[in-house]
Chains A and B, each alone.
Chain A
Amino acid sequence: EAGVTQSPTHLIKTRGQQATLRCSPISGHTSVYWYQQALGLGLQFLLWYDEGEERNRGNFPPRFSGRQFPNYSSELNVNALELEDSALYLCASSLTGLGNTIYFGEGSWLTVV
């Protein structure tokens, strides 16, 4: 069974540009979560999607947004990139209602220069 897959693995963008990161959850999982992990730091919750709807949002500005598609895959968009947005962006998935056990992808490294 395939795990959570994310693309691209690495992305380099210029300050002010937009970045789009993609995530495919484990088959059968309807919940997708996005986390930001700056170098050497903890995991900061960004967004939670379930059944195509945004269910919860972390303490991030509106330029961080995303969506979930009918096949439960998801994308994270970061607009007006700032240098401090450079981080590992992790996507995770779970069955609905089982948010204590989530499965992470390998992440997308975003570098803003």
Chain B
Amino acid sequence: GQSLEQPSEVTAVEGAIVQINCTYQTSGFYGLSWYQQHDGGAPTFLSYNALDGLEETGRFSSFLSRSDSYGYLLLQELQMKDSASYFCAVRGQTGANNLFFGTGTRLTVIP
């Protein structure tokens, strides 16, 4: 099966940098994805790492270490609108295309 662990809550100051960690256990591994969900909204895709290393997309970066079964999402120059829940997700089962999501990290950005 699959399991993912993330911190439940993170608070950071506007303009700062915050890192949201994710550790996973899965019987197979086909990449780590990150999704953002604002209150009352649908989850939206942020990034995907299939290989080790850092992927950068604007203010957001995502890192993966397959040997450590670990990844993180890095948000730079935090803005108030970044307050949301962030979920990591894996496709871990051979032949199964569906994602399994972590429990989510609620990020609160304060002035």
User: Do residues B43 and A100 form an inter-chain contact, with CB atoms below 8 A?
Assistant: no
Interface of B toward A, CB cutoff 8 Å? 30-31, 33, 41-45, 48, 50, 87, 91, 93, 96-104
User: Do residues A100 and B48 form an inter-chain contact, with CB atoms below 8 A?
Assistant: yes
Given contacts A45-B100, A48-B96, A56-B97, contact A101 B42 (CB under 8 A): no
Task: Kindly report which residue of chain B lies nearest to residue A41, judged by CB atoms.
Answer: B103
User: Do residues B103 and A106 form an inter-chain contact, with CB atoms below 8 A?
Assistant: no
Cβ of B104 to closest chain A Cβ, rounded Å: 5
User: Do residues A107 and B87 form an inter-chain contact, with CB atoms below 8 A?
Assistant: no
User: Do residues A104 and B96 form an inter-chain contact, with CB atoms below 8 A?
Assistant: no
User: Do residues A94 and B97 form an inter-chain contact, with CB atoms below 8 A?
Assistant: yes
Known: A56-B97, A90-B42. 4 other contacts (CB 8 A): A42-B87, A42-B103, A45-B100, A101-B45
Decide if the interface of chain B is mainly helix, strand, loop or mixed.
Answer: loop
Interface of A toward B, CB cutoff 8 Å? 31, 33, 35, 41-45, 48, 50, 55-56, 58, 90, 92, 94, 96-97, 99-107
Complex Cα gap A75–B78 (Å): 39
Task: Kindly report which residue of chain B lies nearest to residue A109, judged by CB atoms.
Answer: B40
User: Do residues A104 and B43 form an inter-chain contact, with CB atoms below 8 A?
Assistant: yes
Cβ of B101 to closest chain A Cβ, rounded Å: 4
User: Do residues A45 and B99 form an inter-chain contact, with CB atoms below 8 A?
Assistant: yes
Residues in B with CB closer than 8 Å to A96 are 97
Complex Cα gap A90–B30 (Å): 23
Task: Kindly report which residue of chain B lies nearest to residue A50, judged by CB atoms.
Answer: B97
Residues in B with CB closer than 8 Å to A45 are 98-101
Residues in A with CB closer than 8 Å to B103 are 41-42
User: Do residues B98 and A56 form an inter-chain contact, with CB atoms below 8 A?
Assistant: yes
Complex Cα gap A29–B33 (Å): 19
Residues in B with CB closer than 8 Å to A48 are 96-98
Complex Cα gap A100–B97 (Å): 8
Cβ of B63 to closest chain A Cβ, rounded Å: 16
